[in-house]
Amino acid sequence: MDSINQSTVANGFHHLQAAHCENGVTTALLKHYGVHKLTEPLAFGIGSGLFYIQLPFMKVNGGPAISFRTMPGLIFKRTCKALGIPVTRKKYASPQKAMQELDERLIAGKPTACQVGVFYLTYFPKEYRFHFNAHNLIVVDKQRDDYIISDPIMETLVSMNSYELQRVRFAKGAFAPRGQMYYPGDNLNEATDEQIRRGIISGIKRNCRDMLMIPGSFGGAKGIAYTGRQIKGWKNKLGDEKARGYLAQLVRMQEEIGTGGGGFRFIYGAFLQQAHAYLPIDELLQISQQITATGDKWRDAAIQASGIYKGRLGTQADYDNMGDRLIEISELEKKAFKDLKEAVKKAK
């Protein structure tokens, strides 16, 4: 796999590197089709991307099913809806038909987003390849049997051949993409400030609901404390080896799958700062600092977890420390989103 020179792409698509794949796809794809005001933080906030849940009766790759993001596709869908942009999304039973319809769009010079599995992405380092089927990228062009790919995680455009791209589009397992591709309408109008403003308000309200109002104990801010309490019991309940594996899973979901833990908080903090230009409520700047501070604490928690699963730490006190860190984060995020819920009530 070689990186691709930007000038070789026929349709003038401009690659953007981003912190999170769906944010990056949303921003780059909409810019290509005419919406230039959108930034990655604005897409993340308007799309209400911040989330947390631990599903207690489900396992992923042998570990706890933890998610720091909304369902795949919702950031793009919600952002487009807020800006009045039509969206087409397709899934396929036939790999041949999926590749044919993608080719038809590329021949017409229309870059198209796809949801894919990570495990067989040939341009990913091997240590980052595992069974995760909710990655997003943009297929920009086709040159002979090579597809030019804009993956927001990568510094430059990359490529895959037709066999490789079909394989990741039809990866098996949880959230199997089934050849899914999606794209906005053509020749979009630039978003108005009022559309962005209304999108910010609705995005904030939805994110406050998701972090504060999910029923039960394992979703939203409450879910973070739930996981913290679970961690305190893992050593005795699971034994050292399995408990370390569970913590490795937590860190993988937090820091390696789209910057889920600390990284998402930093993006959301940036969103609130940028939102202030459209929604001049000063509390947004203060809450931005609160959210950013929880991002630092998520990163500190990841370091603690890494010390345990790599064997440098391992006493019950170390597990208790890890659990207490998440319980503290839960309380801080609960306060931040309660403050945000009150602040956005001032929006006209």
Contact status, residue 157 vs residue 172, Cβ threshold 8 Å: no
pLDDT per residue over 10-35, tens digit each? Answer: 678 999 999 889 999 999 999 999 99
**Which H or E element spans position 65?**
strand 63-69
70: DSSP letter: P
**CA dist., res. 67 & res. 320, Å (int):** 22
Mention every residue, 6+ apart, whose C-beta is less than 8 A from residue 194: none
| Residue 240: other Cβ atoms inside 10 A | 12
Q: CA torsion sign, 327 to 329 to 335 to 340?
A: negative
Q: Give the model's pLDDT for residue 252.
A: 79
**What is the model's pLDDT at position 225?**
97
Global confidence as pTM: 0.92
Between CA 332 and CA 176 the distance in angstroms is 35
pLDDT of residue 147: 97
Three-class SS state of 38: coil
How much is the pLDDT for 1?
45
Q: Which of 197, 30, 177, 156 is nearest to 90 (CA)?
A: 177
H/E run at residue 182:
strand 181-184
User: What pLDDT, on a 0 to 100 scale, did the predictor assign at position 201?
Assistant: 98
Residues of the chain with pLDDT under 50: 1
Span 160-218, pLDDT tens digits: 999 999 999 999 987 899 999 999 998 899 999 999 999 999 999 999 999 999 999 99
